[in-house]
Amino acid sequence: MSDDLQALIDSLPNLGSAVVVTLEMTIGGAALAMLVALVLGFGSRTRSLWVRGPSRVVIEFFRGTSLVVQIFWLFYVLPVFGFKMEALAVAIVALGLNYGAYAAEVVRGSIESVPTGQWEAATALNIGTFHKVRRVIFPQAWALMIPQLANLLIQLLKGSALAFYITLHDVYWWIDELQRDTRDTFFSYGVGLVIYFVIAYILTWGMNWAEERAKRRLGRGTRPRLRDVFGLKPGVPTEIARVKGGVA
Amino acid sequence: MTNASNGTPAIEFKDVVKRFGDNVVLDKLNFSVAKGDRVTLIGPSGSGKTTILRLLMTLEEANGGLILIDGDPYTHEYKGDKWVDIPEKRRREVRKRVGMVFQQFNLFPNMTVLENIIEAPIHVLGKSKAEAVQRAEELLEQVGMTDKRDFKTNQLSGGQQQRVAIARALAMDPEILLLDEVTSALDPEIVADVLGVLREIARTTDITMLLVTHEMQFARDVSNRVLMFDHGKIVEEADPETMFTNPGHERTQEFLKAVLGN
């Protein structure tokens, strides 16, 4: 065990850069996914078949094909056609497209959950479509979509471990190295679990905070308490308190 | 574009047809409303009253006929013998003159009371913020909601929300105001407050009003014309006094008996 600890301590300097790579993929992938989700999510609910059709096809394609295959395709097959990207860019694009397709459904569903009366009231005030979405509909849909986006973000983080297969030195690579050094699978993969869990937990805090903030802007919920933000169940404590009339 | 001569009606329906699937809601409807008129639409549910307001607000699309605001075609026009859509840009120009208050208030929950009122004047009418806020404050005073200026909308009661919604519609300086069962979602004791606000607006402005309501006393006080609808057609048209005390049509008599309970 002390050998294991020594190996762990020796490899800690590499952990920092490995976490940075994982976070770059996660944050870059999430940002791209959000962009893709907004374009496809809105695209898939327009009236024009010329926009809706392609949006649906892209969503179904990237949801329906394996992330590993997508990563390998971008990394190994695209260069055959003369289009080569760095491994990190490949990972971000693959994660962005794959999770963006899932998130597009979240965006579409949340937009559709905003009551029709909100659209109608904005029309009655003669507010143009873009402004209507930006100022009236999206802020309401945003509060609805955060919990599901938080799930996808955590999945995206874990999905980023696949980038190990295209030579990236991310957290999973670091765990694999630790396993080689110690030859102790239990120890090294145990440490791996803890590291992914800690990163995921930090992301969950961030999303809980964003959710509480979005709800507060709608006049729902309260100023987030530490318990709400650090709790594992997003939004639930405030919601229960509100329903029970415990917190005004 | 505007034919603002006095003879031009504020609203004109010409052979307007509206169907939902096979259900014909409005069947070649013709009627017009003069400027400054206060017209109440009454009739059983499903008779097409609310559809008329929704067509006027472009929340529904007609299947035939013409809707004119101040003589300007609003949603469709005939080019030669073809019935064509009016582009959104022209539609918006005409829609500026129309405002609507909804049964369910439909305030924007992501904004405060004040923000609800100034949003469209700033972004649609291009008013400065100071100008929009000043007007909003006047309107809040008028509807008795000054002290709730910075509240989020879901901190308000139904009656308060509806008063804000009225102020929000008026902030756009509409020439025509559509009121769609504005008291139906309110507790009975609050109804009088909201109706009081509307009576005051009717008294102090010359806005053309088209209202759908089940408050017959209010209709009688505020409107100068009442249209009785049944199955998408006008079965009777009269001044409120005649309509409520001495209706001519059998259908109207039945309806009023059921509503007024006498």
Question: A140: distance to nearest CA of chain B, Å?
Answer: 7
Domains of chain B, by residue range, sit at 108-173
Residue of A nearest to B167 (CA): A125
Contact A110, A34 (CB under 8 A): no
Q: How many Å apart are CA A106 and CA A140, to the nearest integer?
A: 13
Report the pLDDT value the prediction gives residue A1, as an integer from 0 to 100. Answer: 63
Q: How many Å apart are CA A55 and CA A48, to the nearest integer?
A: 11
Q: How many Å apart are CA B41 and CA B48, to the nearest integer?
A: 9
Q: Which residues contact residue B41 at a Cβ distance below 8 angstroms, ignoring those fewer than 6 apart?
A: B49, B52, B53, B210, B211, B212, B226, B227, B229
| A102-119 pLDDT tens trace | 999 999 999 999 999 999
Average pLDDT over residues B81-97: 89
Determine, for residues B153 and A128 on separate chains, whether the beta-carbon distance falls below 8 Å.
Answer: no
Q: Percentage of chain A with pLDDT > 90?
A: 78
Contacts of B124 in chain A (CB under 8 A): 125-128
CB pairs under 8 A between A and B: 67
Average pLDDT over residues B131-158: 95
Determine, for residues A124 and B119 on separate chains, whether the beta-carbon distance falls below 8 Å.
Answer: no
> Would you say residue B96 has pLDDT above 90?
yes
Determine, for residues A136 and B104 on separate chains, whether the beta-carbon distance falls below 8 Å.
Answer: no
Closest Cβ opposite residue A117 in set B106, B120, B154: B106
Contacts of B57 in chain A (CB under 8 A): 120, 123-124
- Chain B contacts in chain A segment 204-243 (CB below 8 A): 217-220
Report the pLDDT value the prediction gives residue A242, as an integer from 0 to 100. Answer: 44
Q: How many Å apart are CA A153 and CA A88, to the nearest integer?
A: 18
Question: A105: distance to nearest CA of chain B, Å?
Answer: 23
E strand or H helix that includes residue A90: helix A87-113
| B194-238 pLDDT tens trace | 999 999 999 999 999 999 998 888 899 889 999 999 988 999 999
The verdict on B185 touching A (C-beta cutoff 8 Å) is no
Report the pLDDT value the prediction gives residue B3, as an integer from 0 to 100. Answer: 42
Determine, for residues B102 and A117 on separate chains, whether the beta-carbon distance falls below 8 Å.
Answer: yes
Does the reported pTM lie above 0.90? no
Report the pLDDT value the prediction gives residue B83, as an integer from 0 to 100. Answer: 85
Torsion of CA A217, A222, A228, A234, to 10 degrees: -40
The verdict on B6 touching A (C-beta cutoff 8 Å) is no
> Would you say residue A228 has pLDDT above 80?
no
Report the pLDDT value the prediction gives residue B259, as an integer from 0 to 100. Answer: 85
Lowest mean pLDDT among A18-27, A138-147, B1-10, B49-58: B1-10
Smallest CA-to-CA distance from B259 within B231, B221, B219, B225 is with B219
Report the pLDDT value the prediction gives residue A234, as an integer from 0 to 100. Answer: 52
Question: A9: distance to nearest CA of chain B, Å?
Answer: 50
Determine, for residues B108 and A220 on separate chains, whether the beta-carbon distance falls below 8 Å.
Answer: no
Closest Cβ opposite residue A125 in set B110, B154, B172: B172
Report the pLDDT value the prediction gives residue A244, as an integer from 0 to 100. Answer: 41
What's the token pair of residue A125? 């005030």
CA separation (Å) from B60 to A136, A143, B17? 20, 29, 12
How much is the CA Rg of chain A, to the nearest whole Å? 21
Q: Mean pLDDT for chain B?
A: 91
Q: Percentage of chain B with pLDDT > 70?
A: 97
pLDDT tier at A236, thresholds 50, 70, 90: very low
Q: Is B46 helix (H, G, I), strand (E, B) or coil?
A: coil
Q: Mean pLDDT for chain A?
A: 89
| A73-101 pLDDT tens trace | 999 999 999 999 999 999 999 999 999 99
Report the pLDDT value the prediction gives residue A161, as an integer from 0 to 100. Answer: 94
Report the pLDDT value the prediction gives residue A240, as an integer from 0 to 100. Answer: 42
Q: Which residues contact residue A126 at a Cβ distance below 8 angstroms, ignoring those fewer than 6 apart?
A: B92, B95, B96, B120, B124, B172
Domains of chain A, by residue range, sit at 2-243
| B237-252 pLDDT tens trace | 999 999 999 998 999 9
Q: Which CATH class is domain A2-243?
A: mainly alpha
pLDDT tier at B261, thresholds 50, 70, 90: confident
| B6-62 pLDDT tens trace | 689 999 999 999 999 999 999 999 999 999 999 999 999 888 899 999 999 999 999
Smallest CA-to-CA distance from A146 within A231, A91, A211 is with A211
Mutate to test the interface with A, among B92, B106, B172 (most CBs of A within 10 A): B106
The verdict on B30 touching A (C-beta cutoff 8 Å) is no
Angle formed by the axes of helices A171-182 and A185-217, nearest 10°:
160
> Would you say residue B262 has pLDDT above 60?
no
Average pLDDT over residues B65-73: 92
pLDDT tier at B188, thresholds 50, 70, 90: confident
Q: Percentage of chain A with pLDDT > 70?
A: 88
